[in-house]
Amino acid sequence: MNKSAHLMSGLTVGIAVSKYIVPTVPYNGQIDGMVGIGAVLCGALLGSLLPDIDHRNSYIGRKLRITSFIISKTLGHRSIVHTPLVIFAFSSLLFYLAMLLCS
């Protein structure tokens, strides 16, 4: 997949799940619906590019050259970074960090 395909799939998933994620984030005050949806969509777009961080010529690989080089040399391309377990772990970590920042 290329950058455009990754971003489109991330945007699609972000739109689909934002209805369920935004109400579950605790916050001391009120999160405006559009701000919450915007945050979810930004996270989905960034998250959709992360599986290609192990390829040095990908969009995110060019932006994070050192990280991409280390992951590429250590794990190779399309290895553990592309597994559902890593995607779930990374998503859980980001959700946990969002809860910490908002509480």
- pTM (predicted TM-score): 0.67
- Note the pLDDT of residue 50: 82
Annotated domain spans of the chain: 3-102
pLDDT bucket at 84, cuts 50 / 70 / 90: confident
Average pLDDT of span 38-50? 83
Helix H segments across the chain?
Answer: 3-21, 33-49, 59-63, 65-75, 84-102
Q: Is the pLDDT of residue 81 over 60?
A: yes
Average model confidence (pLDDT) across the chain:
80
